[in-house]
Chain A
């Protein structure tokens, strides 16, 4: 049986969250 391809849009959520968190952490730890 053929299956439809699934595009994991949630990867974008995870990547964006990691970016924002990393940015905030850089600022919080005065590393930037």
Chain B
């Protein structure tokens, strides 16, 4: 019996030691703001590569295909942007866009016409382009000057982003309802028409967001 104890104790001690060391290493790596890339072919890696390459539509597509896309997008924005109110809004809009894009995939597999899901996905990706450009501008400006936090343009941008968020939320709800009802019946034509109207509204908002950026740059 004592022999068993003598053998078991060092074994358990060693196990706990290596586990603790691994956890401490993991925590340290995360504290340094480093990301470990285990598999270059995973959706998360592709999303990160697309985001770094400035292909934001593709980044959204891959974030939607990654199960933890929202968490990764949130981590990326939390690290990259200053702790301003606009940051949480950007994160919310980004997460909503990821969910909308994922919703189009689910809707397509459930039988919603591909033309419709494709149009929604394309619009979501265009909006993502505008969103990321906005985030890039805000991040780059914040690194130069802290008082920009109170710039009036930022308030305009926040109003715009709030509108985009509401539109995307509404669109997501409509798409889910359309997925639930399945193939297009007579009732669903109204639903589909309304959905397309919201899509146009989103396109207008995204364009406004982009134009606002150009106006700010000019």
Q: Which residues on A are within 8 Å of B, measured CB to CB? A: 1-10
Interface stretch of the complex, out of B13-21, B91-99, B134-142, B176-184? B134-142
Interface SS, B side: helix
How many A-B pairs have beta carbons closer than 8 Å: the answer is 44
Instruction: A4-B79, A9-B36 are known; give 10 further A-B pairs, CB within 8 A.
Output: A1-B140, A2-B139, A3-B52, A3-B79, A4-B34, A4-B35, A6-B48, A7-B29, A7-B36, A8-B40
Q: How far is the CA of A1 from the CA of B40 in the complex (A)?
A: 23
Q: Which residues on B are within 8 Å of A, measured CB to CB? A: 29, 33-40, 48, 52, 75-76, 79-81, 135-136, 138-140, 143
A5–B34 touching, CB < 8 Å: yes
Which chain B residues border A5 with CB–CB below 8 Å?
33-35
B40–A10 touching, CB < 8 Å: yes
